[in-house]
Amino acid sequence: MATAIFIRLLSNRLYCNLEKMALSYGFKAMGLELRTLHLVICAVIFCANALAQLSATDNCFRVGLGKDLEKRLANHSTETDLSAKKNTADLSGQIIRLAADFSTNSRNILQNEEKNKESKIAETESQSRQMICRILETSGIPTDDAYGPDAVDAFLYLVARTLKPSELAELYPAIIQAYRLKYIRPNVHLAVLVDKTRLAFGRKQLFGTQAIIRGDLLLLAPLDDPENVDSRRQRFGLSPLKEYERSLQNQYRKPVIRSFQLPERSPNTLPPAATPSEPANLWDASSGEPEIRIATALVKVDVLVRDTDAKNPASMASLALKKEDFRIFDNGRPAVIDFFNQTDAPFDIVLLLDLSGSTSGKTGLIKKSTRRFIQAKRPEDRLAIVIFTDKPTLVSDFEKDPEILLKRVKDIGGFGGSYVWDAFAFAMDLLDKSEKQRRKAIVAMTDGVDNALWFSGSGSGSRTSFADLAERVSRESVIIFPVYLDTEKEYPRLADSYKAARASLHYLGEASGGNYFTANKLEELEHLYDQVLSDVGAVYTLGFSPEIREGESAWHTIKIDVPSRPELRLKYRPGYFVQ
């Protein structure tokens, strides 16, 4: 505060000296007209005042602020005099209006409605930080009894959205103390503040309010104690998590996926040298010692092996790798390979065909390529065929005989909505019923555009959310080979939906250890089907019994390599859930 006063005094003294110079030189100084000189003076004073405000704001969030605020809360009294009540009432109105302005400017940026949006949001952020400081200096952490619930909500909204991690670290313990003393009630903005602070310091969120845009997907940050997230959300006035995921999808027109592990550095964290100490209490989801869990189920991982230099992946079938050639690491620890299946082990494959309205111009192509796939499949593999529009239809259950399969697909056809994610879920249900000793795969020919991406917010589209589908793919051992059919030219206004669709198909391929392909012509599809069938013939299956340690996440990461053949490229699912 002393620094701010000094800067203001200095700017006023500068103004007086410059004005005297102008008068003594006959209304001119250094070749400048007096009017021009006044503009210069005003600019200098403006910058000086801005610097003074910045200095005061930075001083407000000093180290030790949190402790001072906690002491004030310990001495908090609900009895205040009339002048104090009037002062807090004035501040309450100001902060509610400021939060409304901040919300409006943020929404305008998202909707791209007006010019200079970034500068306006920066200006509102600066105003909110000054308002936060003013409240902290006046009465400490605002409470429901002094400021009213609406003003406290507005205060928490601004704190969560405008403060840096180092500043959050100072305020957070005092805010949580106010909540535990029941001076602040459970509310949405407190939940957001808790999640944002935890993520900033490398902890999982409690309420699921934080998501990150990754390309054309929305990544929901990892959750602590996900089984109880909806009960926590309900207590703080939030809708169930799955409803929130759908609202995010509708708002951003991007599929949502749930992250199971924290990134190496959270987007909100500071550089190592500037990272503040973690707040004393980040409000753990669970109390007491971590639950000890023992897993006895064998974890199986399908590994697709390809040579980085080989143009034809079919040559991989002749590698004849053995169990001893592979190494597997579970959460970074070496694991013993208890189960091993070579490339000649049979597959059950679901051929999933999109016959919805958006692919109607490709129906002939789909039929011809389906017959080609049936004729080229390996004799030991069984094939089931599913077509879908707004609902999936089983054309053929698992069958080895190509002649029978060709008869069953002779008259396939359809037209209607596009419920892509429901169709994938149906295919996985079908594979769940197949013989356990057989490996499992889905080959999907689709443009990937679920009606949930076409008609955002209308309630149309698959009942299965993409988040649920993606999590199921991560939990089950099914390899997915999406073959993308480009129909975007027929629907140029839906470019964003097509970007999201391609991203979702690519994710399913990567998350399952499969490959993503693109094709538009019959010749391309025939080549890709050859490649898919060659990939199926180059898959090894490894199994191990996981070691579970106290406090570990239910999500375990996997790493596999072949030390003797470093030129080989391995594809496999990135991890698994402990059952």
**Tokens found for residue 548:** 């579970």
Q: Kindly tell me the burial class for residue 362, based on how many C-beta atoms sit within 10 Å of its own C-beta (0-12, 13-18, 19 or more).
A: buried
Residues 6+ apart with CB under 8 A from 288: none
Q: Pull the structure tokens for residue 333.
A: 């620890």
Question: Which residues are CB-neighbours of 313 under 8 A, at least 6 positions away?
Answer: 306, 307, 531, 534, 535, 538
What stretch of H or E contains 539?
A: strand 539-544
Contacts of 217 (CB under 8 A, 6+ apart): 254, 255, 256, 257, 500, 503, 504, 507
> Whose structure tokens read 């059950």?
348
290 vs 538: CA distance, rounded Å: 41
Alpha carbons 331 and 198: distance in angstroms, whole number: 23
Half-sphere exposure of 129 (CA within 13 A, CB side): 21
Measured CA to CA in angstroms, residue 383 lies from 26, 318, 457, 528 at distances of 97, 24, 37, 17
Reduced to 3 states, what is the DSSP secondary structure of residue 255?
coil
- Taking CA 301 as the corner, what is the angle to CA 296 and CA 302, rounded to the nearest 5 degrees? 155
Q: Is 207:195 a contact under the CB 8 Å cutoff? A: yes
Q: How far apart are CA 395 and CA 541, in angstroms?
A: 29
Strand partners, 300: 543
Cα-atom radius of gyration of the chain, to the nearest Å? 31
Residues 6+ apart with CB under 8 A from 489: none
Tens-place pLDDT, residues 453-495: 877 655 688 999 999 999 999 888 899 999 998 888 888 888 8
Residue 104 confidence (pLDDT): 84
**Cα end-to-end distance, the chain, whole Å:** 57
d(CA 219, CA 216): 10
Spatial separation of the C-alpha atoms in residues 141 and 260, rounded to whole Å: 34
- Look at residue 406 in the predicted model and tell me its pLDDT: 93
Residues 6+ apart with CB under 8 A from 311: none
pLDDT in tens, 187-229: 999 999 999 999 888 889 999 999 989 889 999 999 988 889 9
**pTM given for the model:** 0.76
Query: Which pLDDT does position 282 carry in this prediction?
Result: 56
324: which residues sit within 8 A by CB, 6+ positions away? none
Assess contact for 558 and 301: CB atoms under 8 A.
yes
Enumerate residue ranges in the chain where pLDDT < 70. 1-59, 78-86, 109-118, 261-296, 308-318, 456-459, 520-523, 525-526, 550-553, 579
CA distance 94 to 70: 24
Fill in the amino acid letter for 145. Answer: D
Per the CB < 8 A criterion, the answer to whether 498 and 254 are in contact is no
pLDDT at 372: 87
| Count of alpha carbons within 13 angstroms of residue 115, beta-carbon side | 0
Output the pLDDT for position 208: 95
Question: What counts of helices (H) and strands (E) characterise the chain?
Answer: 18, 19
Give one DSSP letter per residue of 479-505, joined into a string: EEEEEEE--GGG-GGGHHHHHHHHHHH
The verdict on domain 347-536 having CATH code 3.40.50.410 is yes
Structure-derived torsion over alpha carbons of residues 426, 429, 431, 435, reported in degrees to the nearest 10: -150
Whole-angstrom distance, CA of residue 14 vs CA of residue 8: 10
- What torsion, rounded to 10 degrees, do the Cα atoms 499, 501, 507, 508 define? -160
The pLDDT, as a whole number, for residue 326 is 95
Q: Are 422 and 466 in contact (CB under 8 A)?
A: no
Output the six-digit token pair for 193. Answer: 């503040």
- Neighbouring C-alpha atoms within 13 Å toward the C-beta of 247: 10
Residue whose C-alpha is closest to residue 138's, from 160, 161, 121, 155? 155
DSSP 111-122: HT-SSSHHHHHH
The single-letter code of the amino acid at 184 is: I
3-class secondary structure, 212: strand
